[in-house]
Amino acid sequence: MYQYHTLDNGIRIIFRHTHSIVTHAGVYINVGSRHEQGAEEGIAHFIEHSIFKGTEHRRSYHIRNRIDGVGGELDAFTTKEETCVYASALSAHLERCLELFADILFHSTFPDREIEKEKDVVIEEINLYRDSPSELIFDEFEERYFGTHPLAHNILGSKKNVRHFTPAMLKQFMASHYTPDRMVISVVGDVEFRRLVHLCEKYFAFGSPSATPPSPIATPAAIAPQASPSRTTVHKHTHQVHLLVGGAAPTLYDSSKTAFTLLNNIIGGPAMNSRLNVAVREREGFCYSIESQYVPFTDAGLFYIYAGVDNDAADRSTELILNELRALRDHPLTAQHLKAAQTQLIGQMAITNDSGLNEMQSIGKACLNFGHADTLDEMNRDILALTPADLQEVANTFLTEANLSYLYYV
């Protein structure tokens, strides 16, 4: 189903053909906030903004207009471990997208005037984020949970760091991390694979007139985090209590990742019949929404349960959360309940992958971390192979109260 190719310089390509008139393309780079050190914190995200501000061939206006001008959409994002630049456009404009990706990733000049303006933009993004306790609490939880480990780094960085970034710092960081061996080009759309490979060779094969290879700089080896559970209350003077309960979960490469993904979906996935939604919202009316999230990193994993509740309901809501986790530890699912949970997750994944953009991003990240992407059929097979004993074992490994940390905004 998926086709692969590796350019001579190490850049990998993953592709799936569709008959849609729209093609989705992106470049995944193995660099995020965890790769920053000291005064660099926030620089990966700032670079993601700044590569659109000027290259050796284009000014910022021309970059913005290159895809938008033909009705396409150009965007980017940064996580703790990856950066992605991507675009969606009519399939006829794929070459335009790929050429622009190569230009901004390898020829950005970071003009002083544009960079100074972008600092103000990012500082306002930081301010906006700090005004949203329902989002800020996740970052603070990770900072407290991971302590001095690089996974604790806030993706946006601090205002102080942002103000001190210089074009030279941005160029040096890119030279260190934006190297071919850390890149994957992901495409889902209506194009011949042979033509896609030709276009990638044209714009990304270093040694040609179209691109110049960066000079890699050695970076410290990653060290797995050693987290310590805690309970913290922060006075934010909000109208409701924002509570977050979470702890360690399987890593990206852990064999129990699939079981935990299904377990997380049962606990507080997006469906209205999740255990937490039924227990805390439907039965008690304590919250508007409650959710659980599972975020696997390459050498760690985190599991969160978040809710915003009335002050008087915070303790009882926490108790209900712990009750649901205890039930999964103490009582295996019945065969009927397991089958229903498997069917639900398989359906949700199919709907998500029905979006070409979602699929492009999903397979790009998979190829970056594993060298390949599983098909939906392969993922479904792994889900259907799970047993009640598998889920109970994972619950007793990760969902114990001794593993949990608590953060409350009151």
Task: Match 């910022």 to its residue by tokens.
Answer: 60
The answer to whether the predicted template modeling score (pTM) of the entire model surpasses 0.85 is yes
User: Is residue 210's pLDDT more than 70?
Assistant: no
Domain locations in the chain? 3-204, 231-409
Q: Is 46 exposed, middle or buried (0-12, 13-18, 19+ CB in 10 A)?
A: buried
User: Is residue 215's pLDDT more than 70?
Assistant: no
What per-residue confidence (pLDDT) applies to 326?
Answer: 98
Options 3.40.50.720, 2.60.120.330, 3.90.1530.30, 3.30.830.10; CATH of 3-204: 3.30.830.10
Confidence grade of residue 375 (pLDDT, cut at 50, 70, 90)? very high
Task: Provide the CATH topology of domain 231-409.
Answer: Cytochrome Bc1 Complex; Chain A, domain 1 (3.30.830)
Query: How far from the centroid of its chain's Cα atoms is residue 201's Cα?
Result: 28
CATH topology match: 3-204 vs 231-409: yes
Identify the helix (H) or strand (E) that includes residue 380. helix 376-384
Question: Is the separation of the CB atoms in 223 and 147 below 8 Å?
Answer: no
Helix (H) and strand (E) counts for the chain?
15, 11
- Structure tokens given for 377: 């059929």
Q: Please provide the distance, in angstroms rounded to a whole number, between the alpha carbons at the two ends of the chain.
A: 50
Instruction: Give the helix ranges, DSSP H, for 178-270.
Output: 193-204, 257-268
Closest CA to 110 of 171, 32, 178, 67: 171
- Mean of the per-residue pLDDT values of the chain: 94
What are 30-61's pLDDT values in tens digits? 999 999 999 999 999 999 999 999 999 999 99
What per-residue confidence (pLDDT) applies to 228?
Answer: 72
